Amino acid sequence: MTSIIKISNLKKSYENGNIKALNGIDLEIDEGDFVSIIGQSGSGKTTLLNMIGALDIGDEGSVEVAGYNLNKTKRLNDFRSKKIGFVFQLHNLIPNLSVVENVEIPLYARKMSGEKRKKKALNLLDLVGLKDKAKIKPTRLSGGERQRVAIARALVNEPSIILADEPTGSLDSQTSNDILKLLIDLHEKENVTLIIVTHDLNISKLANRQIEVLDGKITNFK
Amino acid sequence: MSFLLLIFKNTFRNKVRSFLAVIGIAIGIATIVGLGALSNGIITSFDKTMHVGGADFSILSKQQNETGINPYGTSTFSEDWLNKIKEIQGVKDAKGIYLATLPVEGKLLAVGGFDYKDLKSRDNSLIDGRNISENANNEVIIGKLASESLNKGVGDELSIGEDKFEIVGISESGNSNQDSSIYTLLSVIQKMVKDEKSLSMISVYVEKGADIKGVAKTIEDKYGENISTVTSVSDVKRMDDLVNMIKGVSLAISLLAIIIGGIGIINTMIMTVFERTREIGVLKAVGWSRTKILSMILGESIVLTLFSAVIGSIIGVIVLETLVAIGIMGNTLNPVFTLETFIQGFEVAILVGLIGGLYPALRASKLTPTEALRYE
């Protein structure tokens, strides 16, 4: 297996160095792997996920993801557009757009015809079982359905890696199980690297490998 | 869905706020369109008067007389000038006209004195009655609008100053200025205002194929110290001042509209950016570039102001036409809406959109994804 993520001595602090969010992270993740990052609130797990997704840049160390050196590249938006699919705890869908239009959103970062955009978005909605609700507004969907739309949006760019930050954090247990099953199915079917941030041990155990983060350091990686 | 449609949908997400912003700018645009149309109306009406009876250009005195009865603020000049003008090479004919603003049945109206042949040539504009008889010293023709405002018709008596006249005909030319005037023989008005053998204007007709500007220049070169040729409104100081004043007011309102509308748009768009901070974070997270986000917010701002321009233009036309219909504008001033009037309104709207949208758009584009996604 080849590594898709290589992180070396990554450090990140906030508020003039007073808050050390990441304190020397070394990590390698293989292509197509399913990894969970677990830790308490404030442990640095979301910061680590943000660094992998190039939503933030470290102060020290190096981060290489899918062939991009994130410390050096000036094409961070290009990297996010082509390589990463984000799923957030809150779905963050745009309320005045229809379900299919929400799924199309990442494709505006690329040159693509409106027809092709819509076709791709509908295929993804079919994959998450919501094709019949493509034309309605997200406000008329249940929490679980909204998260399914967010997953379809994360996948529409055909990313190499899906980064999910507490994707079931605001859902009931039955819906959580459905969403996790969907993410794992997609990871297997599409051979996408899946990284889930969670503070729930049961969810963490579903992954092939678990990373435990405490005070900005990896304390356990199995 | 195209990017343009996405911008359009975002613009009207908060309908009440967008509506209030649109109304604020639309009022400014309506005023710009309205004043532009009024200024056009003055120019068009004046232009028709200067080319009355198909004249190629007119001649007025060089001397200004702002307090006189001449509506164009110039002095009268001797009838002798008529023959001097007729002698100029290329001039086919020249006709003397006396124009005065006089009290007619208690209202100040324009009264024009023409020679008999000149009046006779306008038979086709008569819609009722007959033309003035040769040598008649108590007959007048009144324009249709004057007839309506004075409530007088053929056969009625008309008081001009202290003199009494009989209305023998009603004319309609389609020019509100002319249709609001009274016509009589040149000699009659000269006698009435005690300014015999004088003219206030000469209409010049050039030979077929002759260069109009060339003939006008010959006259200017020869007699330019005493008289001036008039081919457009800018040639007459009083009219030019009036048009410039309206244009000045229009420019001032345009600037105010840009400042006030710009502040309104900045406020609306900043609110939009604040409300959609997390959404902007998501857009960045899914790979949107700074330029793309900047174009979206700036696009929304411009769509808002372009929509205001459409609404403002409609309001401008409706308000002005209503004022004309209920008679508040008087009979002589008819607004003329041209493409240029609306283009000016749209130019101001786009400028307001660009100025007002730039800061919020830059602010949105500079947000870091993590900062935006953390926003509560």
Q: Where are the domains of chain A?
A: 3-221
Q: Are B279 and A104 inside 8 Å of each other by CB?
A: no
Q: DSSP string covering B149-182, please? A: HHT--TT-EEEETTEEEEEEEEE--S-HHHHT-E
- Report the distance separating Cα B213 and Cα A128, nearest Å: 78
User: Of B137, B162, B165, B138, which Cα lies nearest the Cα of B152?
Assistant: B165
Beta bridge partners of B227: B61
Residues of A engaging B, defined by a Cβ cutoff of 8 Å: 50, 53, 55-56, 77-82, 84, 86, 88, 90, 92, 94-97, 101, 104-106, 108-110, 114, 117-118, 153-154, 157
Q: Are B1 and A104 inside 8 Å of each other by CB?
A: yes
Please classify residue B354 by burial: count the beta carbons closer than 10 Å to its beta carbon, then call 0-12 exposed, 13-18 middle and 19+ buried: middle
**Residue A160: its chain B contacts at CB < 8 A?**
none
In angstroms, what CA-CA distances link A25 with A36, A84, B16, B292, B330?
15, 20, 50, 33, 83
Backbone φ and ψ of B140, nearest 5° = -135, 155
Per-position b or e across B146-161, b if 16+ CB within 10 A of its CB? bbbbbebebeeebebe
* Interchain CB contacts (distance < 8 Å): A and B: 74
Q: Are A97 and B286 inside 8 Å of each other by CB?
A: no
B289 touches chain A (CB under 8 A): yes
pLDDT in tens, chain B (376 residues): 788 888 988 888 888 888 888 888 898 899 889 888 888 887 787 777 777 667 888 888 877 766 666 666 678 888 888 889 999 989 999 899 998 888 998 888 889 898 888 777 776 788 999 989 888 889 999 999 889 888 998 999 999 988 899 999 999 887 777 888 899 999 999 998 888 888 988 989 989 888 888 898 898 888 878 888 877 666 666 667 777 887 888 788 878 877 887 888 888 888 888 888 889 999 999 989 999 999 999 999 999 999 999 999 999 999 988 888 887 766 666 788 999 889 988 998 999 899 889 999 998 888 888 888 877 6
**CA distance to partner chain B, nearest, from residue A171 (Å):** 19
- Report the distance separating Cα B286 and Cα B319, nearest Å: 48
**Residue A56: its chain B contacts at CB < 8 A?**
368-370
Smallest Cβ–Cβ distance between B287 and the set A50, A77, A88 belongs to: A77
Smallest Cβ–Cβ distance between B13 and the set A84, A96, A117 belongs to: A96
Smallest Cβ–Cβ distance between B289 and the set A77, A105, A117 belongs to: A77
- Report the distance separating Cα B346 and Cα B329, nearest Å: 25
Altogether, the residues listed in chain B come to a count of 376
DSSP state of B138: S
Alpha helices in chain B (DSSP H): 3-11, 15-50, 80-86, 116-120, 144-150, 176-179, 186-192, 212-223, 237-275, 277-285, 290-325, 339-366, 369-374
Question: Residue holding tokens 């007073």?
Answer: A18
Smallest Cβ–Cβ distance between A106 and the set B10, B286, B368 belongs to: B286
CA torsion sign, A195 to A197 to A203 to A207? positive
B284 touches chain A (CB under 8 A): yes
Q: Are B370 and A50 inside 8 Å of each other by CB?
A: yes
Rounded to two decimals, the ipTM of the complex is 0.89
Percent above pLDDT 70 for chain B = 93
| Alpha carbon A179 to chain centroid, angstroms | 14
Q: Are B288 and A96 inside 8 Å of each other by CB?
A: no
- Report the distance separating Cα A81 and Cα A107, nearest Å: 8
Extended beta strands in chain A, E state: 3-14, 19-30, 34-38, 60-65, 68-69, 84-87, 161-165, 193-198, 209-214, 217-221
Smallest Cβ–Cβ distance between B287 and the set A80, A95, A117 belongs to: A80
Q: Are strands B163-171 and B157-160 parallel, antiparallel or unpaired?
A: antiparallel
**Residue B293: its chain A contacts at CB < 8 A?**
none
| Ranges of chain A whose pLDDT falls below 70 | 1
At residue B269, the pLDDT reads 87
User: Of B74, B175, B79, which Cα lies nearest the Cα of B122?
Assistant: B175
Give every CB contact of residue A13 below 8 A, 6+ residues apart in sequence: A19, A20, A21, A22, A59
| Closest Cα in chain A to B367 | A55
**Residue B368: its chain A contacts at CB < 8 A?**
55-56
**CA distance to partner chain A, nearest, from residue B22 (Å):** 20
Instruction: Give ∠ CA A103-A107-A110 in degrees, rounded to 5.
Output: 175
Contact B76, B61 (CB under 8 A): yes
| Closest Cα in chain A to B13 | A96
Query: What's the Rg (C-alpha) of chain B?
Result: 29
- Report the distance separating Cα B213 and Cα B64, nearest Å: 23
Contact B118, B167 (CB under 8 A): no
Smallest Cβ–Cβ distance between B292 and the set A82, A108, A153 belongs to: A108
Query: What's the Rg (C-alpha) of chain A?
Result: 17
At residue A106, the pLDDT reads 92
At residue B329, the pLDDT reads 67
- Domain A3-221: CATH superfamily, name plus number: P-loop containing nucleotide triphosphate hydrolases (3.40.50.300)
Mutate to test the interface with B, among A14, A105, A110, A157 (most CBs of B within 10 A): A105
**Residue B17: its chain A contacts at CB < 8 A?**
none
Give the SS3 label for residue A91. coil
**Residue B369: its chain A contacts at CB < 8 A?**
50, 55-56
Neighbours of B7 (CB within 10 A): 18
Question: Residue holding tokens 């003397």?
Answer: B96
At residue A15, the pLDDT reads 83
